[in-house]
Amino acid sequence: MTPVYITFLRFMDGEDEARQFSYSLEVGGYGRKVIWQGVPRSIRAGQRRVRDSQDGLIIQRNLALFFSGGGRQELKLKVAGRIWKEQ
């Protein structure tokens, strides 16, 4: 299995409250970026459950290294994001 990195947002309340919001995350480098947009998961949902459902920004190791400078030696990623309340 290829190593991957996953990032996601957990909301500090229940599922019903979390569904009132949306968020986006992005990571990139060298003129390219990957963007994920979704609904935050409740803090009550364990991280294993979120990981197993793959409900987040997932980046394979080789792409993460490319975004880090292409040297395939060191991982340096900047993840940016925002959250907003749906109308």
Q: Is the pLDDT of residue 35 over 90?
A: yes
User: Which tokens hold the place of 60?
Assistant: 């394979």
Instruction: Report helix, strand or coil for 10.
Output: strand
- Whole-model pTM: value is 0.79
Q: At CB < 8 A and 24+ separation, what contacts does 64-72 make? A: 64/5, 64/27, 66/29, 66/30, 67/27, 67/28, 67/29, 67/30, 67/32, 68/29, 69/29, 70/30
Instruction: Report helix, strand or coil for 26.
Output: strand
pLDDT tens digits along 8-21: 888 888 888 889 99
Which CATH code for domain 4-81?
A: 2.60.210.10
